[in-house]
């Protein structure tokens, strides 16, 4: 039952690292507001815009032609000021002056922490939408941008494989994921990587060398190792490459750091549909009196998870995928 009347003016912002699909989520929030005849205000530059009163009224037509665009039309920013109570008070004063009564925050766990504090201190209803390519947020099987980022990485691996196999090269490809290996594990399997190094599991350098030696003995003339930024060997990707090069005369070892291309690009079908569903769920949730929750998709169904839980808990890596990766690299 939707409690129409209590919520009349919803703010929406994007915060933290940008991710493909954020625009599709903004579009969905705006259009759902239009559908229910609720005003929607876009807050520019994340929480910093909230503090500075950078607001723009958005209607269904303001979000035309953005579902296919990466990045975020509202811009994203990291705001140190919002981490202070004074900063948040300033944000609230502007928020009230503008007649806003609730907020949808699209971002990662830092953004959700900010949203939670804003709710706690000023009683503003808030709902979060998980937007980060890392897929490291509890309460959703997928986060916005993750699927697109994986497809970008997979394309890059395919291209690197062409050159690797033409020259007997061993490639170390670093992908994003400071705390989570979801991108690395899935793209490693999809791209046929020899080894996949992720933060959740440190198999040790000996085992890496052993595995690459076995591959070399079995006739492989080139190999690809996918390295998540935050893997735990204690060496960065260049040091890892150097270390391995010392053990293999037959290989030329190269490093490719994919970096920010993983954040860009047109969102995939999966991300666009996810964004559309979560935008609808967030607005309907607010209209229904829900607050302090994140909307996500679990086993195909839209679910709400308390923000506190979404922040505190972690998505576990799927161990079956580790086993599959292992078997595939025989």
Binding residues among 245-284 for ligand ATP as defined by CB under 6 A: none
Task: Please provide the distance, in angstroms rounded to a whole number, between the alpha carbons at the two ends of the chain.
Answer: 55
Stretch that binds ligand ATP, among 10-18, 225-233, 281-289, 306-314 (CB under 6 A): 10-18
- Cα-Cα-Cα-Cα dihedral of 40, 41, 47, 48, to 10°? 170
Q: Which of 312, 308, 285, 264 is nearest to 38 (CA)?
A: 285
> At its nearest, how many Å lie between ligand ATP and the CB of residue 58?
21
Given the residues 18, 109, 134, 147, select the one marked as catalytic.
Answer: 134
Q: Which of 196, 191, 173 is nearest to 317 (CA)?
A: 196
Binding ligand ATP by CB under 6 A: which of 2, 53, 71, 113? 113
Which residues does 89 contact at the CB level (< 8 Å), separation at least 6?
121
Query: If binding is defined by CB under 6 A, does position 110 make contact with ligand ATP?
Result: yes
DSSP state letters, 85-128? HHHHHHHHHHHHHTT--EEEEEE-HHHHHHHHHHHHHH---EEE
Distance CA 208, CA 194 (A): 10
115: Cα within 13 Å, side-chain hemisphere: 33
The edge-to-edge listing of strands for the beta sheet with 223-228 is 195-197, 223-228, 169-175, 252-257
Binding residues among 130-189 for ligand ATP as defined by CB under 6 A: 132
Query: If binding is defined by CB under 6 A, does position 49 make contact with ligand ATP?
Result: no
Secondary structure, 3-state, 152-210? HHHHHHHHHHHHHHHCCEEEEEEECCCCCCHHHHHHHHHCCCCEEEECCECCCHHHHHH
Binding ligand ATP by CB under 6 A: which of 11, 17, 139, 145? 17
Binding ligand ATP by CB under 6 A: which of 109, 174, 229, 231? 109
- Which residue, 110 or 264, is less far from ligand ATP as judged by CB? 110
Structure tokens at 154: 């997979």
C-beta separation of 59 from 107 below 8 A: no
> Which residue lies nearest ligand ATP, judged by its C-beta?
110
Respond yes or no: is residue 134 known to be catalytic: yes
> At its nearest, how many Å lie between ligand ATP and the CB of residue 80?
7
> At its nearest, how many Å lie between ligand ATP and the CB of residue 134?
6
Binding residues among 18-47 for ligand ATP as defined by CB under 6 A: 47
Query: If binding is defined by CB under 6 A, does position 114 make contact with ligand ATP?
Result: yes
> At its nearest, how many Å lie between ligand ATP and the CB of residue 108?
3
How many positions of this chain bind ligand ATP (CB under 6 A)?
Answer: 17
Binding residues among 60-89 for ligand ATP as defined by CB under 6 A: 78-79, 82-83
Query: If binding is defined by CB under 6 A, does position 16 make contact with ligand ATP?
Result: yes
**Region of 223 on the Ramachandran plot (φ > 0 left; ψ -120 to 50 alpha; else beta):** beta
Stretch that binds ligand ATP, among 108-116, 188-196, 223-231, 312-320 (CB under 6 A): 108-116
Stretch that binds ligand ATP, among 24-32, 112-120, 191-199, 277-285 (CB under 6 A): 112-120
Structure tokens at 257: 């750091």
Query: If binding is defined by CB under 6 A, does position 296 make contact with ligand ATP?
Result: no
Binding ligand ATP by CB under 6 A: which of 7, 12, 13, 15? 15
**Site residues, ligand ATP (CB under 6 A):** 15-17, 47, 78-79, 82-83, 107-111, 113-114, 117, 132
Cite the active site residues: 134
């Amino acid at each position: 039952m939707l409690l129409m009347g209590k919520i009349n003016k919803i703010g929406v912002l994007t915060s933290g690292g940008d991710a493909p699909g954020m625009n599709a989520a903004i579009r969905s929030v705006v259009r759902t507001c239009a559908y229910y005849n609720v005003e929607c205000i876009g807050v520019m530059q994340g929480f910093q815009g909230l503090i500075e009163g950078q607001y723009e009224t958005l209607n269904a037509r303001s979000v035309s032609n953005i579902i296919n665009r990466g990045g975020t039309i509202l811009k994203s920013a990291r705001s140190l000021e919002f981490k202070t109570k004074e900063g948040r008070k300033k944000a609230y004063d502007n928020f009230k002056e503008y007649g806003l009564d609730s907020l949808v925050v699209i971002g990662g766990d830092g953004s959700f922490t900010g949203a939670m504090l804003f709710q706690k201190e000023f009683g503003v209803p808030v709902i979060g939408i998980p937007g980060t390519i890392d897929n490291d947020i509890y309460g959703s099987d997928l986060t916005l941008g993750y699927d697109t980022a994986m497809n970008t990485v997979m394309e890059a691996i395919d291209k690197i494989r062409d050159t690797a196999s033409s020259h007997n090269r061993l490639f170390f490809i670093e992908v994003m994921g400071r705390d989570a290996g979801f991108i690395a594990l899935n793209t490693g399997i999809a791209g046929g990587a020899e080894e996949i190094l992720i933060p959740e599991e440190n198999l040790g350098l000996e085992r890496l060398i052993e595995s690459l030696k076995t591959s070399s003995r079995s006739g492989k003339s080139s190999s690809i190792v996918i390295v998540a930024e935050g893997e735990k060997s204690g060496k960065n990707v260049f040091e890892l490459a150097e270390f391995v090069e010392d053990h293999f005369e037959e290989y030329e070892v190269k490093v490719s750091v994919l970096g920010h291309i993983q954040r860009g690009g047109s969102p995939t079908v999966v991300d666009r549909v996810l964004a559309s569903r979560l935008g609808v769920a967030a607005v309907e949730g607010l209209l229904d009196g829900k607050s302090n929750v994140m909307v996500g998709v679990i086993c195909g169904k839209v679910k709400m998870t308390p923000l506190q839980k979404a922040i505190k808990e972690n998505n576990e890596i799927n161990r079956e995928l580790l086993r599959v990766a292992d078997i595939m690299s025989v």
